[in-house]
Structure 1
Amino acid sequence: MGLFDEIKKKLSHEFIDIVEWLDNTNDTIVHRFERYQNEIKNNAKLIVREGQTAVFINEGQLADVFTPGTYDLTTQNLPILATLKGWKYGFDSPFKAEVYFVNTRLFTDEKWGTKNPFMLSDERFGLVEIRAFGTYSFRINDPGKFVVDVVGTDGNFTNYEVNEHLKSLIVTRFTDTVGEANLPIELYAANTTELSETCQEVMQPEFGRVGIELEKFYIENVSMPEELKKEIFEYSRLDKLDMTKLAQFKAAKAMEAAAKNEGGTAGAGMGMGMGFVLAQQMGGMMNPQAQQQVFGAPQQVATPPPMPTQVMYHYASNGQQMGPVSIDKLKELFASRTVNKDSLVWKQGMQNWTALKDVEELKSFLGGSTPPPLPTA
C-alpha cells in the first residue's frame, strides 16, 4: 500500500463524525451543533439522547427531525434533506446542514407576574387595582416549529429568552381571562385553582402556535391595595352580623364611654352600672332561659309608640325626577336655588305634581309671612 493510500485511509476515518450534544446546563433549550462551514461527513453518527430532539435545517428550510436514538446519516435516514439536496444516487462527499438539538424535557418553576397593577370593575367597589403572580411549566412538543418560528439562527437559545416572550403572553391572556370572568373581587383570591385551570385552557392554543406545550399554570397570589382589603373584610363582616345586636352593642359602648368622660366617682359608677345593666340585657336577649332563671319571670315593659314617619318629597330639576328628600333637605335646596317656588314637587298622597309655592306646608320657604303682634302686658 502506497503512502497516498495510507493518507486517504486515515482521512476517511477522520471524516466519520459523531454528531451529539452533551447538555451541561440547566437552562439551554436549543443548541446548534457547530461544524466548520456546517459540513457533515458521509455516514456520520447522530446520537440523540433522551429528552432531546435533533432538527436538521437546510438553507433556512426545515428538513428532517430525529427523536432519541443512534442513526447513521445516509440518504435513507435523511429523506427530506436528500430531496431538498436533489441527491439521486446517494452521497459520498460531505454535505452542509445546520443541526439543532432541542431540549424536550419539562422546564418547571418558571416565574410570571404582572409588572403593573391592572384595573377591574366591581359592582360594589367600583374600579379596583389588582396584581397577580405565580409559576408555570412548559416543554417543547414540536421542535421543528419551535426552531423555525422562535429560535431562528440563534446558536444557543435559553429558557430566559423564551420566558420573556411567554411572560408577556401569559400576562396579556391572564388579564383578559380575569376581566371576562366577572367575579366579585373578593372571590379571585379564593378561587385561584379554578382560575388557574381556566387560564391554562385559554393560553394553551397560543403556546401551541410556536410548538410549546403549557404543562401547568399556577396563580399563587392575587393581591390588592390594603385599603380595599379592609373594605372587603368589613363588608363581609357586616353581611354576616345581626345588625340589631351590633347596634345595641355599639350603643352600650358609647354610653359607657360617655359616662367615663363625665369624670368623678359618680360618673364612673354610672358608667359601670350602665355597662352592667346593658350587658345583662344583651346576655338575656342571647339566652332568654338564663335571664328567666336569674330574674324570674320577665316583667311587662311598656312599648313606646312607633316613631313618626318623615314625609319625603320628590322634586323636578332640569326636567328630571330627583329625590326623595326630607322637608329640611328640600328647604336647603330652595335656599341654594337648586329649586324655586315654581319647581314641581310631589309626595305620597298627592294626586299630581304641584308647584312648591302651592303646597301649604312648603309656603314657609317663601318668607314674607308676618307674625302676629306680641301680647300687651
Structure 2
Amino acid sequence: MSIFDEIKKKLSHEFIDIVEWLDNTNDTIVHRFERYQNEIKNNAQLIVREGQTAVFINEGQLADVFKPGTYTLNTQNLPILTTLKGWKYGFDSPFKAEVYFVNTRLFTDEKWGTKNPFMLSDDRFGLVEIRAFGTYSFRINDPGKFIVDVVGTDGNFTNYEINEHLKSLIVTRFTDTVGEANLPIELYAANTSELSETCQEVMQPEFNRVGIELERFYIENVSMPEELKKEIFEYSRLDKLDMGKLAQFKAAKAMELAAKNEGGTAGAGMGMGMGFVLAQQMGGLMGQPGTQPFGGQTTQQPQAPPPMPAQVSYFYAVNGQQLGPVSFDKLKELFASRTINRDSLIWKQGMANWTVLKEIEELKSFLGGNTPPPLPTA
C-alpha cells in the first residue's frame, strides 16, 4: 500500500460522521438532522436510540427507515436510497439525504374536551345539552407514513402541532359515538369506562390513517346543566318512592311549618289548631287514636282514608326501541291506533322481564271478545 493510500484511509476515518439526535425536550415528535447542504459522508455512523426511529427522505420521497441500533451508512444498509440514487456499484463520496428522527415514545396525559355543549335527544327529558372532557395517550407507530402525511418538511414538529388536529378528531368521533349509543341520559356519567373503550375502538382507524396509535382514551367527566341534574335526581327518587306516602309526608311537614310560623294571639290559636290537625293526621298515619286538646279525654278519631293508588306506568317496545313510560289509558290509545299490538313487548315496575301484551292480565281487556269464566259448580 502506497503512502497516498495510507493518507487517504486515515483521512476517511477522521471524517466519518456521526448521525444521531439527543432529545432534550418533552414535546418534540420529529426532529430533522441538520447537515451542511444535507451532505452525509460515506460510511457515516447512524445511532438510533431506544424510543426513536430514523427516516431517510430523498428529494421528498420516503426511502429507508431504521429502528433502534447502530448502523454504517453504505449501499448495504441503504437499499432503497441506493436504488433511488442509482448507485449500481456503490459510492465513495458524500451523498445528500434528509434524515428525520421520530420520537416513538408514549405521549401521555394529553387533554381533550368539548369546546361547546352538544345536543342529545332523550325520551323523557327531550333535547339536552352535555359537555365532556378527559385525557388520551398516543405514540407514532408508522414513522414513514406520519412524516409523509403529517410532518412534511417541518424541521421540528412538536406535540402541540398534532394535538390540535387530534382533539378535533376526538371530539367529532366522540359526539357521533355518544349520539348513536342512545342511552338514557343519566347513564352517560355512570358508564364512562364502557364509553371510553367504545370510543377508543371507533377512533383507532382514524389515528392509524396518519401513522398514530391511540394507546389510551379516557372520559373523565360528562357534565350537564344543574337544572337537568335536579330533574334526573327527582325522577330517580320518584321512581323508587311510594307516591301516596310521599304526599302525606309533605302535607304533614307543610302543616308543621305553618304552625311554627304563625304569630300573636290569633297565630297561637291557629298554631294550636294546625297542631291538632297535624296530630290527627299523624295519628291516622301511625294507626293511633287522636286526643282532645282540652278535656284530657281520649276519643277515637275517624280513620283517614287510605292514599290513592299510584298510577302504573308502562314501557313498550316499537321497532326494537324502548319507549315510555305511559299511562294505562295512553297505552290503550296506542293499541287502538295500532302503534302496538297483542305481541308487543311491555314492561312495568315489578315485572322481572319484558312480556308480550296478550299475557299481561290487566291488558287483556285491550284484545276484546273477553268471555266471563264458567259459574262455580254447586
**Unaligned residue ranges in structure 2 (runs of 5+):** 289-299, 309-336, 338-378
Please, which of 271, 274, 278 is the counterpart of residue 275 of structure 1?
A: 278
What is the Cα deviation at residue 257 of structure 1?
4.2
Flag the 1:3–1:75 CA change in 2: closer, same or farther, 3 A: closer
Which residue is 1:171 aligned to? 171
Question: Which secondary structure state, in structure 2, belongs to the residue aligned with residue 236 of structure 1?
Answer: helix
Q: What is the CA–CA distance in structure 2 between the aligned matches of 1:303 and 1:7, rounded to whole Å?
A: 117
Which residue is 1:103 aligned to? 103
Flag the 1:186–1:169 CA change in 2: closer, same or farther, 3 A: same
Which residue is 2:151 aligned to? 151
> What letter corresponds to residue 23 of structure 2 in structure 1?
D
What is the Cα deviation at residue 276 of structure 1?
3.3
Question: Which secondary structure state, in structure 2, belongs to the residue aligned with residue 91 of structure 1?
Answer: coil
Question: Which secondary structure state, in structure 2, belongs to the residue aligned with residue 188 of structure 1?
Answer: helix
Which residue is 2:320 aligned to? none
8 Å CA contact 1:51, 1:105 repeated in 2: yes
Flag the 1:255–1:117 CA change in 2: closer, same or farther, 3 A: same
What is the Cα deviation at residue 237 of structure 1?
1.2
8 Å CA contact 1:38, 1:96 repeated in 2: yes
Which residue is 2:77 aligned to? 77
Which residue is 1:266 aligned to? 269
Q: What is the CA–CA distance in structure 2 between the aligned matches of 1:244 and 1:41, rounded to whole Å?
A: 90
Flag the 1:112–1:5 CA change in 2: closer, same or farther, 3 A: same
> What letter corresponds to residue 268 of structure 2 in structure 1?
T
Q: What is the CA–CA distance in structure 2 between the aligned matches of 1:302 and 1:219, rounded to whole Å?
A: 53
8 Å CA contact 1:189, 1:222 repeated in 2: yes
Superposed, which structure 2 residues align to 1:318-337 within 5 Å? none
Flag the 1:276–1:300 CA change in 2: closer, same or farther, 3 A: closer
Q: What is the CA–CA distance in structure 1 between the aligned matches of 2:274 and 2:3, rounded to whole Å?
A: 120
Which residue is 1:216 aligned to? 216
- Whether 1:207 and 2:207 are equivalent positions in the alignment is yes
Which residue is 2:53 aligned to? 53
Q: What is the CA–CA distance in structure 1 between the aligned matches of 2:169 and 2:179, rounded to whole Å?
A: 16
Which residue is 2:117 aligned to? 117
Q: Deviations over 1:4-42 (max 9, x none)?
A: 889856653443100000011111111110001111100
Question: Which secondary structure state, in structure 1, belongs to the residue aligned with residue 273 of structure 2?
Answer: helix
> What letter corresponds to residue 140 of structure 1 in structure 2?
I
Which residue is 1:254 aligned to? 254
8 Å CA contact 1:32, 1:100 repeated in 2: yes
TM-score by length of 2: 0.72
Q: What is the CA–CA distance in structure 2 between the aligned matches of 1:176 and 1:37, rounded to whole Å?
A: 48
Superposed, which structure 2 residues align to 1:8-87 within 5 Å? 11-87=11-87
Which residue is 1:225 aligned to? 225
Flag the 1:278–1:90 CA change in 2: closer, same or farther, 3 A: same
> What letter corresponds to residue 272 of structure 1 in structure 2?
G
TM-score by length of 1: 0.73
8 Å CA contact 2:284, 2:303 repeated in 1: no
What is the Cα deviation at residue 135 of structure 1?
0.1
Alignment RMSD, CA only? 2.6
Which residue is 1:139 aligned to? 139
8 Å CA contact 2:33, 2:99 repeated in 1: yes
8 Å CA contact 2:280, 2:301 repeated in 1: no
8 Å CA contact 1:15, 1:42 repeated in 2: no
Which residue is 2:243 aligned to? 243
Q: What is the CA–CA distance in structure 1 between the aligned matches of 2:248 and 2:304, rounded to whole Å?
A: 19
